[in-house]
Chains A and B, each alone.
Chain A
Amino acid sequence: MSELFPKWMNALPTLGAIAGGGAFVSVVTGTWYWATPDFWEVGYMPEQPGAGFNHQLHAGELGIDCRYCHTHVEESAHSNVPSVATCMGCHSENKLAGWEQHDVNWVRTAYAEDSSIEWRRVHLVPDYAHFPHHVHVAAGVSCYSCHGQIQGMPVVYQAESLSMGWCLDCHRNPEENLVPPDQVTNLIWVEQEWFSKDVKDREHAGLTPEALVDSLRYDPPEHCAACHY
């Protein structure tokens, strides 16, 4: 009786197991790596209208505080984008030395026409998730924690994944992530003087991470309805 199956087929179960295992591992790791906001969202950098707004120049080099433009971040859940009038506070004609050299005529046009500039949203949490800015700022969460080193971005891009797991990482370890409330918008200081140090070495004007957590009075919430309602 001739053999129904050639001998090499004996290896099939083994090979199959290896291939299957390999496929399983690649699917899992592939999903793990690619199918996440970490991969898809981080680095999102839409093109802004006109010449855009250079945060590196304004917030970094010129040192304008975040709250100069995002005025309501301490009092409202929504951090507002400034009106064109805010731009014109500096950029109206004859206000700055060498004002003609700056390419901001498109802003002046919008101002003259009283038309809005269509900024494109970079940081987006889904409609079913609510993120209140004011509470985070009051608690001592630096802009840096979610938006990255804005003071070094000529064009703003998404620096963090803004995924739920990422939110919870912070809510579960407030000690590692809180900064002294008076330094919340001082992003360069926050990056270089605070987060660069080990948690136990951080100290500013008598404030330690431990003291910051103590001052919260209310543990960062981890239940669904804190954000989803």
Chain B
Amino acid sequence: MSTIDQCPSTLSGDKKREIPADAPELNTIGGRKAWRSLEEFSGDASFRPFVEREFPAGASEMLGGEETRRTFLKLMGASAALAGAATLPGCRRPDHKILAYSADEPESVIPGKPLYFATSMPTGSGNGGFGVEGLLIETHSGRPTKIEGNPLHPTSRGKISVHSQSEILRLYDPDRLKNPVYKNPARGSLQATWEDFKAWWGDESGRHAADGGAGLAFIVDRVASPTMDAVRERVLATYPRATWVWWDAFDSERSAIEGSEIAFGRAQRPVYRLDRAKCVLSLDSNFISDGQDHLRNAREFSTTRRVEKKDDSMSRLYVAESTPTGTGSMADHRIALSPGRITSLAMLVAREILALVPGGSPVLRAAIEDVAVDTGDIEADTQLRRTAKIIADDLVASPDQDGGPTGSSVVIAGVRQPPVVHALAAAMNEALGAVGETVEYMDWDPVLTENPAERLASVAERIGSGGISTVVCVDTNPAYDAPGWMQMGAALKRAESVITLGVGPTETGTESTWQLNGAHFLEAWGDTRSADGTIAPIQPVIAPLFEPAMSGIEFLSFLAGEDRPDGYAIVKDAWGSGPLKGMSEARSSKAFRRALHDGVLEGTLVRPRRASVASGGIAAAVREMPQPTVARLERLDVVFTPGRLGDGRYANVGWLQELPQMGTSVTWDNPVIVSPRTADNLELLPLGVGNAEGNLDGMYTSRQMPQARIATLSVQGPDGETRTAEVPVWILPGMPDNVVHIQGGYGRSTAGLVGGNVGFDAFALIASNGFAGGASLVRSRGTETIASTQNHWSLEGRDSLVRAIDKKYWEKHAGKRKDKPDKIYGTERKNAPLTVAEQMGELAHTPDNVSAYDNPLNESDADAAAGSRYSKGPQWGMTIDLATCDGCGVCQIACQAENNIPIVGRAEVAKGREMSWIRVDRYFTGDDLNNPKEMLAQPVSCVHCENAPCEVVCPVNATVHGPEGTNNMAYNRCIGTRYCANNCPYKVRRFNFFDYAVTKYNGAFDFDELNDLVELPDQADFNKNFIPPRLREKLDEISHMRMNPNVTVRSRGVMEKCTYCIQRINAARQEVKVRGLWTSDDQVGPIPDGFMLSACQQACPSECIVFGDILDPESKVAKSRDSDRNYLLLGYLNTRPRTSYLMRVRNPNPRLGVYDEHDPLDHGGGSDKGHGSYDDQGGESHGRLPSFVDPIKKFGDDGYAMSLTVLS
């Protein structure tokens, strides 16, 4: 009874369709294989049944893990026993109370209409880089529900990162600290109140005041905030001898700051103007997804990647990186190198540039020439020199330019590179004439100048005997995120007292004398200062949920002697003596109010300026620098990055735990990542994988869940001691060999229900500079299931899903459309000839697509004028531009936040039950598993087919078409047959196998007395979803608050999928009607373009998602759909999707290799043979890859072709 599985591919015996064992994969891009995983790469026969399934085997099974039939019966018995108590109230009409406001009705609150407040957020160390985002908070009757980017903030411009969106879950975290906890030395932890703390501090403070605070150390989350600066001054005025540490676990700008000191003699921050760039070299910099400027970089760089016409110019991006990143996936040439080799590459490129450019500094050139970059591996060294020469030539003579430097090239150095590389990058940029064009300079934010690791290490030493007796941690968790060699946890134990203030529970907090509940930034006053100087306010959008609570600035002011600190007054004071200084009362109060409205304080933006480098200093630094490390199998390089969870502060945020990681698509874990070859050499390939040549055998075990091997990772710390951890090892094509990538933020022990004990703690192993050498990885015992989504929702090897073309062939073909004079789509399609992108796919190869039936929806293209049902606006459509998508996942989180999409947990993800409506498919291309040519991302959600296959199979009409072209789900009609998901070729439908959205995450039984009624299985290790819903713990009250009130929360047994944000569409339509903007029947674009945005479109930093009314010729989406790059995913199936994709155009340097060795549109060597024939399976694969023809499929196809002849 445990298997309720009707998938045909699991039927045994004769009925099972035989799949030839040698079946190769069909999916190709530009003639090369495109694959998402090793299994797909190998085309292994054992993998075929997997891709043919709608869900992995076991996903449909009722019981997971160790549950047995006996357990099931027990639970059903328990359910029946409690049925009376639990179900009868459900029959009664719910008695709703309406609680209107009383005497004080807040201004501007209109029940039913969201109200937006501008605020900002220091992203701190948690966002892969120190930075600030300007935000808009959507509130419903005073309750914040969604975080969006502030369009007026110069950094954000309405865009947002995954982390700041997830702050809403930190606000409504059921595990938040609710009151102060006092740890009594004798009696253990005691619940206490703020009054208790104030009394306790009253006794303590006298002592600290007496000795000038010599025994005090403040460890404060490093934020750029004028108010925090003022508060710091105040604290240090009260306790002049106290130690203040701005703590930032990653300190990701350290190299850049030190590098700029070498280059300019003083710290200067490079600001890139990538919209002017024609040629970009990234030296291990993930400038699109990480760092202070990543939102602006993504926005500006993407403008240089969209080509529409034949002679549109386009930038070229070289990326040398030590782990695959979003920036790497955008690259025209991605070079996987270990960090040390990237340093060598930087020097080689610098030397070439200085030689090529007339004004190149000979001193610096000589210095570089004196430094050896050779490894002894002649082939690799020659290759590196050749690559460096080609890149340097290209940087000097930008693409499409002749002669000397044009100032349109730029070199960007990344966080893991040593300071000297940053200095060299500055020298290169100056030599290239980039300064003032593609790069400008400004001062670093003053809080960044301190080295937090040094400061914290000195505090750790001085705790106890060194004189520090009291440590105050404000929004920091040093016991967890300080590097292991500092032994911060042990040091804190030596302190007399530790006081922590934070939003959630922390490792530091549980060991502290006082653990105080802090206010979340959405509940507090404050301000931020962006890298460009912009000051933005932080204003509360809700009163602290667990009052009383203090924000960081209030708490520190309290410690500095203010009895009743008030955040508003502190900010006003700080601004009065800071940015608003010297203004009259009236003007300053007006400016303040304006700032609260706009979310930015006007006139604080600092313009970058030019700066010139001092070559002598760089030359000296180059001569002094240690030899770059060379990663070897026995001395592995370790690359350390913040994972999805930042510095661990997002550990209890389920959205981020479940957001597939870049490249690996792993969720809920941080396995160490190595290249397939390295894993093979270390005998650490995931279970069942034979070797790196893709000789896979049985990787998918009975439950088809990938198993990683466990290994011991040993890293030597700066103190000389070696630290080890037992870690699962996972492989990622595109990793450089002999490099281990580990991610911080996991392995929290006290993060809460979601984030506790997920993955391993990488901070324990490594210093904070992001890179370490000399590590070893040795196989130990055991395996671990990895919940990776890379094989989920596979499109069964269908061809030409993601398309890309080299610029050379784009220039050849752009503008040339091809008539396909047939009845494709059921109508004469002469008015819509095939675009360049469509000519690259199957559509150019399929026979006439004539439907045997009269399709009621077949009118739209040709008969629009005649008044078909799709001829009246608005008709919704979307385009997704693959040229600018870097796979960052922001759309996925935006969708989750907007549409109340639940998380399901690790075990459920492993079974393929994740609920996210958007998935970001990541494809590698090429025949080399270890070193794929490209990495391409493709977000896929419901494409809203006009001829939707899902609609015709629903027995209860739960999924139906709307008059505006959207494919809708009526949740209350759905009975959960899942036929629709089965029939969906795009695999975008998600099924609520359990009550994910309504019950508490991993919550157990709601009734304690249940244990008396029946003997229950041990709760620790069984799937809690299996508990009948009415017996299960419901969602916490606080979790209800984050739900979008305009979207139904789905319960179990219901299918769901992307709705095109129908709630926003409906709200926009209602608004237009009420405002009277809809004035005539035949109005074109009655809902003006941009009046409503889908959540994913709104959030996408590189603006690759465009949504709107396709009948309005002026709309962005209509123009985008008209592009020559436009194609429909699986268009040949005649599903007529409303979401279309824009093909990527790459701009490779022919000297370094091209992607399209042949014209991708030149089929079959000029012969017409093949066109219209089903023997040619893949559009681009003719003659190069053997065509695989499934005999059974071919039989059906031949029959189909025959029927067509009869019909026509």
* A35 interface residue per 8 A CB criterion: no
* B199 interface residue per 8 A CB criterion: no
| B1070 A121 Cβ-Cβ under 8 A | no
- Measured as residues with beta carbon below 8 angstroms from the partner, the interface class of chain B is 35 or more
The secondary structure that dominates the A interface is loop
A99 vs chain B, min Cβ distance (A): 18
CB-CB contacts of B91-123 with A at 8 A, as 1s and 0s? 001111111111111000011110000000000
CB-CB contacts of A111-131 with B at 8 A, as 1s and 0s? 111111111110010111010
CB-CB contacts of A201-229 with B at 8 A, as 1s and 0s? 00000000000000001100101111011
Determine the chain B residues whose CB is within 8 A of the CB of A50 once the complex forms. none
Among A116, A128, A134, contact of B100 (Cβ-Cβ < 8 Å):
A116
A107: nearest residue on chain B (CB-CB)?
B102
| A85 B103 Cβ-Cβ under 8 A | yes
A124 to B96, CA, bound (A): 8
Among B98, B1070, B1086, contact of A119 (Cβ-Cβ < 8 Å):
B98
Determine the chain A residues whose CB is within 8 A of the CB of B972 once the complex forms. 126, 128, 228
* B960 interface residue per 8 A CB criterion: yes
| A76 B96 Cβ-Cβ under 8 A | no
Determine the chain A residues whose CB is within 8 A of the CB of B1076 once the complex forms. 138
A110 vs chain B, min Cβ distance (A): 6
| A226 B960 Cβ-Cβ under 8 A | no
Determine the chain B residues whose CB is within 8 A of the CB of A80 once the complex forms. 100, 110-112
* B1074 interface residue per 8 A CB criterion: yes
A111 to B1048, CA, bound (A): 35
Q: How many pairs of A and B residues are in contact by the CB < 8 Å rule?
A: 142
* A83 interface residue per 8 A CB criterion: yes
* A84 interface residue per 8 A CB criterion: yes
Question: Which residues of chain B from 790 to 847 have a CB within 8 Å of any chain A CB?
Answer: none
CB-CB contacts of B1035-1053 with A at 8 A, as 1s and 0s? 0000000000011110000
Determine the chain B residues whose CB is within 8 A of the CB of A78 once the complex forms. 111-113
A221 vs chain B, min Cβ distance (A): 7
* A100 interface residue per 8 A CB criterion: no
Among B95, B101, B968, B1079, contact of A116 (Cβ-Cβ < 8 Å):
B101
| A224 B1046 Cβ-Cβ under 8 A | no
* B963 interface residue per 8 A CB criterion: yes
A125 vs chain B, min Cβ distance (A): 11
Tell which of B575-583, B1058-1066, B1199-1207 binds the partner. B1058-1066
Taking A81-B98, A120-B97, A121-B98 as contacts, is the C-beta distance between A72 and B110 under 8 angstroms? Answer: yes
A111 to B1076, CA, bound (A): 38
A111 to B966, CA, bound (A): 48
Taking A85-B102, A85-B105 as contacts, is the C-beta distance between A217 and B1079 under 8 angstroms? Answer: yes
B69 vs chain A, min Cβ distance (A): 35
B961: nearest residue on chain A (CB-CB)?
A223
A21 vs chain B, min Cβ distance (A): 29
A121: nearest residue on chain B (CB-CB)?
B96
A119: nearest residue on chain B (CB-CB)?
B98
* B264 interface residue per 8 A CB criterion: no
| A74 B970 Cβ-Cβ under 8 A | no
| A120 B95 Cβ-Cβ under 8 A | yes
* B87 interface residue per 8 A CB criterion: no
* A30 interface residue per 8 A CB criterion: no
CB-CB contacts of B962-1002 with A at 8 A, as 1s and 0s? 11001010111100000000000000000000000000000
B1082: nearest residue on chain A (CB-CB)?
A217
Taking A118-B99, A119-B97, A138-B1073 as contacts, is the C-beta distance between A228 and B970 under 8 angstroms? Answer: yes
* Residue among A80, A88, A111, A127 facing the most chain B CB atoms (10 A cut-off): A80
A88: nearest residue on chain B (CB-CB)?
B103
* A75 interface residue per 8 A CB criterion: yes
| B1079 A119 Cβ-Cβ under 8 A | no
Determine the chain A residues whose CB is within 8 A of the CB of B103 once the complex forms. 83-85, 88, 111-112, 114
Taking A72-B110, A217-B1079 as contacts, is the C-beta distance between A229 and B1062 under 8 angstroms? Answer: yes
| A128 B1046 Cβ-Cβ under 8 A | no
| A75 B1074 Cβ-Cβ under 8 A | yes
* B1080 interface residue per 8 A CB criterion: yes
B103: nearest residue on chain A (CB-CB)?
A114
| A226 B1048 Cβ-Cβ under 8 A | no
A52 vs chain B, min Cβ distance (A): 13
Among A111, A117, A229, contact of B1047 (Cβ-Cβ < 8 Å):
A229
* A77 interface residue per 8 A CB criterion: yes
| A221 B963 Cβ-Cβ under 8 A | yes
| B1074 A217 Cβ-Cβ under 8 A | no
| B113 A224 Cβ-Cβ under 8 A | no
* B402 interface residue per 8 A CB criterion: no
| B110 A83 Cβ-Cβ under 8 A | no
A116 to B971, CA, bound (A): 34
Question: Which residues of chain B from 356 to 379 have a CB within 8 Å of any chain A CB?
Answer: none
The secondary structure that dominates the B interface is loop
Taking A76-B111, A135-B1073 as contacts, is the C-beta distance between A217 and B968 under 8 angstroms? Answer: no
Determine the chain A residues whose CB is within 8 A of the CB of B66 once the complex forms. none
A81 to B112, CA, bound (A): 12
A35 vs chain B, min Cβ distance (A): 13
| A119 B100 Cβ-Cβ under 8 A | yes
* A63 interface residue per 8 A CB criterion: no
Among A115, A130, A224, contact of B102 (Cβ-Cβ < 8 Å):
A115
Determine the chain B residues whose CB is within 8 A of the CB of A43 once the complex forms. none
Determine the chain B residues whose CB is within 8 A of the CB of A82 once the complex forms. 100
Determine the chain B residues whose CB is within 8 A of the CB of A225 once the complex forms. 962, 966, 968, 970, 1059, 1062, 1066
A50 to B972, CA, bound (A): 37
| A84 B100 Cβ-Cβ under 8 A | yes
| A132 B100 Cβ-Cβ under 8 A | no
* B312 interface residue per 8 A CB criterion: no
Determine the chain B residues whose CB is within 8 A of the CB of A217 once the complex forms. 1073, 1078-1081, 1083, 1086
* A150 interface residue per 8 A CB criterion: no
| B97 A121 Cβ-Cβ under 8 A | yes
A218 to B972, CA, bound (A): 26
| A44 B93 Cβ-Cβ under 8 A | yes
Determine the chain A residues whose CB is within 8 A of the CB of B971 once the complex forms. 128, 228
CB-CB contacts of B70-107 with A at 8 A, as 1s and 0s? 00000000000000000000000111111111111100
A184 to B97, CA, bound (A): 27
A128 to B1069, CA, bound (A): 19
A49: nearest residue on chain B (CB-CB)?
B97
| B1066 A134 Cβ-Cβ under 8 A | no
| A75 B968 Cβ-Cβ under 8 A | no
Determine the chain B residues whose CB is within 8 A of the CB of A112 once the complex forms. 103
* A139 interface residue per 8 A CB criterion: yes
A228 to B94, CA, bound (A): 20
B968 vs chain A, min Cβ distance (A): 4
A135 to B960, CA, bound (A): 24
| B101 A76 Cβ-Cβ under 8 A | no
Among B105, B113, B1046, B1069, contact of A83 (Cβ-Cβ < 8 Å):
B105
| A83 B1048 Cβ-Cβ under 8 A | no
A130 to B968, CA, bound (A): 15
A128 to B972, CA, bound (A): 7
Among B99, B102, B963, B1080, contact of A223 (Cβ-Cβ < 8 Å):
B963
| B102 A116 Cβ-Cβ under 8 A | yes
| B93 A130 Cβ-Cβ under 8 A | no
Taking A118-B97, A119-B98 as contacts, is the C-beta distance between A132 and B1070 under 8 angstroms? Answer: yes
Chain B interface (Cβ < 8 Å from any Cβ of A): 93-105, 110-113, 960-963, 966, 968, 970-973, 1046-1049, 1059, 1062-1063, 1066-1067, 1069-1070, 1073-1074, 1076, 1078-1081, 1083, 1086
The 14 listed contacts between A and B (C-beta, < 8 Å) are A76-B110, A77-B112, A85-B101, A88-B103, A119-B98, A120-B98, A121-B97, A138-B1073, A217-B1078, A217-B1080, A218-B1078, A224-B973, A226-B1066, A229-B1047
Top 8 closest pairs, chain A to chain B, by CB: A78-B112, A225-B968, A121-B96, A83-B101, A76-B112, A116-B99, A224-B970, A83-B105
Q: A77-B112, A83-B102, A116-B100 are in contact. List 20 more A-B contacts (CB 8 A).
A: A46-B95, A76-B111, A76-B112, A83-B101, A84-B101, A85-B102, A111-B103, A113-B102, A116-B99, A119-B99, A121-B95, A121-B97, A134-B1070, A139-B1073, A217-B1079, A217-B1080, A217-B1081, A217-B1086, A225-B1062, A228-B970
